Structure 1
Amino acid sequence: MDDFEGVLVTADRSKALELDEGERARVWAAKAWNALRALDSYTQAAREGLNGGFYQHCTSDRPGAVNWPLKQFAPAESDTTMNRWDAERIFAVPEDVDPSGRKEMQAHLKLGSKGSTSPRIYFLDDTEGITGRVIVGYIGPHLTNTKTN
């Protein structure tokens, strides 16, 4: 993770390691690496004055930018999902970001969509906050939603 100056990973390592047991583990690992590269690239763009968020970064043609496919990016969860399973989307953050050491994260990147695992990376954009980074709070199997329940 030290390769990504613009990304702070607070995710529970054991959840990420659950993905190693899956048939598509190598594919998910490669996608996770590219996702982290895209988030790091976004942080750099934000520091350089990008007008907009991660979505705008992924639609830019900035030289050297690492983008993420927009069809694999969800900026938020549905109201139905958040009304029923919001607690699953609260992850660790530095206490400087929130005194409780926890914060809700809805934005996520899809690492897969086949089968029941369908891994996700949940993150909080703190590029304009105290850390100046993207905080990755979850890497692991798909969380509960209307399709998995």
Structure 2
Amino acid sequence: MTIQRRGVIYRKHFSDGVFGGKQRSFAAAKEYRDEVIAAHPPLSMQEYSNIVKKNNRSGVVGVCRYCASETRDLPEEKQRWFWVASWPLPDGRRKRVKFSVKKYGEDGAFQMAMDARASALGKLVGAFDPGAVRRKASRRRPAAAAAPSAG
């Protein structure tokens, strides 16, 4: 069993032989997990969202300058630049909004991106779930849409 919290790894092995079988070792592992989580709760969504990444160049977490990909190879005066704000959603996806440098100016677009992100982070609640990205929501069609109509 391995759990990481704020850069510290908590690891313990639960052998079936030592604990007297699979069910007992599993129960002991769950008990250990619960103790670690109680002592070291997961990051809140807001804490996670404010981690400064190594590749940050804007100086503001979650705000970056972006050139529209379809204009990247054009001459500089024809390129379309944006300031983009991004933040995590509870289901593991990310929300992004962009603000045009041409429309709002460099400083205006940057400020709007910072304001949009700050507003969104203020609404984030709950703990960060690193497994949310890996768990895909089922994409089932509603029962009425799944069956072709006879007609």
Q: What's the TM-score, normalizing by structure 1?
A: 0.26
TM-score by length of 2: 0.25
